[in-house]
Amino acid sequence: MATLIFPEHPSPVADAEALRKACQGWGTDEKAIISILGRRNAIQRKLIRKAYEDMYQEDLVKRLESELSGDFEKAVYRWTLDPEDRDALLLNVAIKQLPIPDYRVIVEISCIRSHEELLAIKHAYQIRYKHSVEEDLAQHTTGDIRQLLVGLVSVYRYNGKEINARLASSEAEILHRAISEKVFNHEETIRIITTRSKAQVLATLNHFKDDYGTSITKHLRGDLDSDYLSALRTAIRCICDYHKYYEKVVRRALDKPGTDEDSLTRVIITSAEKDLKDIKELFQKRNSRPLEHAVAKDTSGDYKAFLLTLLGKED
């Protein structure tokens, strides 16, 4: 369930006027920006952006980018975008990251979003960057990880719940044979993970655990410095239980010496309108403290206030 709290019928014109006022004068009224944008859903934010541009002949997102700074600016900027445009931006930043692409973000978006959402993201990516996701990924990766990541973003998975138990058993055997021979990059492994429906992959992995006594990710260790194996494990975790995966991302982001703000922001802004409440519950169970308390302890200022608003904190 979502954590975002928003009114049913706010006036986009009134919101646009209030945001204009917050950005004028000697100082920016960050509290006003948080109280408006942090309490509006994607459709409402889209209407505000349109009203703002119609009234002031100015792009609201660009105005916010110029008025704000640091982690707060990055979070507000990304939150204000349409969800598919935001994910296109996140993909591009991840692909272009140096010295190597951030495969975690690429895998997250490819494996957690629905097939309709992924198509919309890829369309938004082409409009924004004048390239396809696949083209940019292929340019910035090589070898096994290129084959895996391009396969993940290219696929249009079947979205149904039906499974073929016999197929799951036979493909679990294929995966076990590849792992036993330490051929982790076997083309059949990549084929199974990138093309089968999520329900079918889950059935195969459950067969693997039942037949061979342990989860497949325990076997996918090999070279601990292998980006390919790390990406493969991430894909499996995202397909199997992405709430559990996201809880771990947030926990690690907060546990680091120096908070990993990029990861923390990414999970909160992409989940607040969907299922952040489920991630919060897992975090509470795993860490014996509310996620809000952990975020408040490890962040500060307007950035903290904005994240807490998205987490459902009442005014």
Q: How far apart are CA 258 and CA 265, in angstroms?
A: 14
Q: How far apart are CA 5 and CA 239, in angstroms?
A: 28
The type of residue at 208 is F
Identify the sign of the CA torsion 194, 195, 200, 205: negative
Do the annotations mark residue 172 as ligand-binding? no
Do the annotations mark residue 256 as ligand-binding? yes
The type of residue at 216 is I
Token duo for residue 296 = 């408040």
Q: How far apart are CA 167 and CA 54, in angstroms?
A: 55
The type of residue at 245 is Y
Indicate the helix (H) or strand (E) that contains 8: none
CA angle, corner 126, sides to 120 and 128, nearest 5? 100
Tell me which DSSP letter residue 33 carries.
H
Do the annotations mark residue 70 as ligand-binding? no
Do the annotations mark residue 222 as ligand-binding? no
**Are the CB atoms for 3 and 21 separated by under 8 Å?**
no
Do the annotations mark residue 143 as ligand-binding? no
Give the largest Cα separation in the chain, rounded: 68
Do the annotations mark residue 296 as ligand-binding? yes
How many residues does this entry show for the chain? 315
Do the annotations mark residue 75 as ligand-binding? no
Do the annotations mark residue 67 as ligand-binding? yes
Q: Is 296 exposed, middle or buried (0-12, 13-18, 19+ CB in 10 A)?
A: middle
Q: How far apart are CA 51 and CA 7, in angstroms?
A: 18
| Residue positions forming the annotated binding site | 25, 27, 67, 256, 258, 296, 298-299
| Residue positions forming the annotated binding site for Ca(2+) | 25, 27, 67, 256, 258, 296, 298-299
